Amino acid sequence: MTGAVDEERAARAYLLRVAEPPAPSLGRFVEENGPIQAAALVRAGRCPARVREETAARKDQALAEHDLAEASRLGARLVIPEDDEWPAWPLLALELASARGLTGVAPPLGLWVRGDERLDEAADKAVSIVGARAATSYGEHVASEFAYELAGRGVPIFSGAAYGIDGAAHRGALAADGTTVAVLGCGLDVGYPAGHVALLERIAERGLVLTEYPPGTPPARHRFLVRNRLIAALAEGTVVVEAGARSGARNTAGTAGALGKVVMAVPGPIGSATSVGCHQLIRDASATLVASVGDVVETIGRFGSDAGDAGPPRPRRPTDGLAKDALRVHEALGLRKGKSAEQIATESGIEVAKVRATLPALEIDELAERCETGWRRRREAR
């Protein structure tokens, strides 16, 4: 860690404590001013009204050092957008959806993470498995089997840490010696739910436990709902294994759909109350029916080649490690027809001067190339 990043990390630790996520106005304020300046302005109360609203109640809780020390004591770290391992690509979906006006999906300002895996690698082509706490043995069996088979093929599994489907999914992935990630709605040190403390230890050893909530934050119903956007965003697709008519899992599925992710649901016997939500999702075409891991792999499509081969770790995506603006510029490039810098600026929402500065850097990284009509994406050489 460089000193500069440490300052940014401390600033983001402060900001994560003062606003209850998701805090869209604070997020935009940090984008515009950078985290260090934004933190100073928030603390001084010198920020726009909407940002003040999000931060006024806790702006004097200057606990960054304490929180970072506490994380360190827990064997955890704060991963921030300035870090290489920040999962910029998957989280871009949150930023774009938030920019489109979807509420409650602003990206996190940072993530408290426990475990040795790199977060960006764990969030590369992952699958979320979610479902009811009051699951049936059928549901737990399916969650565990799906997670076991997917993790065995090298697909990282994301879930919450609840009883029922979540726990079964993590256990399945662990049994396959695969990567599994638990996303919490409370601080890393809170040990919730109590019956899963040992499971969370094992997950941290083999994969990751993460949260945007600072150490000591107690769990709360709204925090689980807010947390669900991370489970939806950090995976390529979400599988709902069992869900009642109204359930958190349906909320995650709805968010995943709104983010443009693949949403899948497992059917069950029609008399089962915990399959009602799955059947509704399939019936109203919000989710694709999956009856096997083969169906999941086929549905996600891009997994076609990769997920079939277990064995050596998959190559990183060429765009991994790109700054968020560079990603957006890259995203705006066409595959065949070239575009002008002005066009790219309009489509990406990045100002044209920055687009002009970014394109040659993408060219050096072999991610963009010039052609007769402008700039286009360079096909991946893989």
Q: Does 359 bind its own copies (CB under 8 A)?
A: no
Q: Decide if residue 269 touches its own copies (CB under 8 A).
A: yes
Q: Going residue by residue from 216 to 255, which x/- string records binding to its own copies, judged by CB under 8 A?
A: ----------------------------------------
Residue 226 or residue 266: which is nearer to its own copies going by CB?
266
Residue-wise DSSP of 177-215: T--EEEE-SS-TTS--SGGGHHHHHHHHHHSEEEESSPT
Does 267 contact its own copies by CB under 8 A? yes
Query: How many residues bind its own copies, per CB under 8 A?
Result: 18
Which of the stretches 40-48, 117-125, 230-238, 264-272 binds its own copies when contact is defined by CB under 8 A?
264-272
Q: Say whether residue 80 binds its own copies (CB under 8 A).
A: no
The stretch near its own copies (CB under 8 A) out of 37-45, 203-211, 273-281, 354-362 is 273-281
The SS3 assignment for 376 reads strand
**Residue 179 or 275: which CB sits closer to its own copies?**
275
CB of 237 to its own copies, least distance (A): 15
Query: Shortest Cβ distance from residue 267 to its own copies (Å)?
Result: 3
The CB-of-380 to its own copies minimum distance in angstroms stands at 30
The correct pick among 283, 302, 316, 337 for binding its own copies (CB under 8 A) is 283
Instruction: Between 28 and 141, name the residue whose CB sits nearer to its own copies.
Output: 141
Q: What distance in Å separates the CA atoms of residue 350 and residue 88, rounded to the nearest whole number?
A: 16
* Number of Cβ within a 10 Å radius of residue 332: 19
Amino acid at 361: A
CB 264 within 8 A of CB 294: no
Q: Cα–Cα distances in Å, from 145 out to 86, 204, 315?
A: 30, 21, 26
Q: Which is nearer to its own copies, 61 or 280 (CB)?
A: 280
Minimum Å gap between C-beta 279 and its own copies is 4
Candidates 251, 275, 343, 358: give the one binding its own copies (CB under 8 A). Answer: 275
d(CA 329, CA 372): 19
268 binds its own copies (CB under 8 A): yes
Residue 349 CB coordination number (10 Å) = 11
Structure tokens that stand for 87 in this block: 């999962």
Query: Does 276 participate in binding its own copies (rule CB under 8 A)?
Result: yes
Buried b (16+ CB within 10 A) or exposed e, 165-188: bbbbbbbbbbebebbbbbbbbbbb
Smallest gap from residue 246 Cβ to its own copies (A): 16
137 touching its own copies, by CB under 8 A: no
290 sits near its own copies (criterion: CB under 8 A): yes
- Answer for which of 63, 71, 142, 186 binds its own copies (CB under 8 A) is 142
Does residue 273 bind its own copies (CB under 8 A)? Answer: no
Q: Do 1 and 79 touch, CB atoms closer than 8 A?
A: no
Using CB under 8 A as the binding rule, whether residue 138 contacts its own copies is answered as: yes
Query: Is 320 within 8 Å of 89 (Cβ atoms)?
Result: yes
Question: Which residue in this structure is represented by tokens 């992710």?
Answer: 261
CB of 278 to its own copies, least distance (A): 8
Smallest separation, CB 300 to its own copies (Å):
14
Tokens coding 85: 């391992």
Q: Which long-range contacts (CB under 8 A, 24 or more apart) does 139-143 make?
A: 139/164, 139/165, 139/168, 139/241, 139/242, 139/266, 139/268, 139/274, 139/275, 140/164, 140/165, 140/167, 140/168, 141/168, 142/241, 142/242, 142/266, 143/168, 143/169, 143/172, 143/241, 143/242
The nearest distance, CB 146 to its own copies, in angstroms, is 10
Distance between alpha carbon 248 and the CA centroid of its chain, in Å? 17
Footprint of its own copies on this chain (CB under 8 A)? 138, 142, 266-270, 275-276, 279, 282-283, 288-292, 295
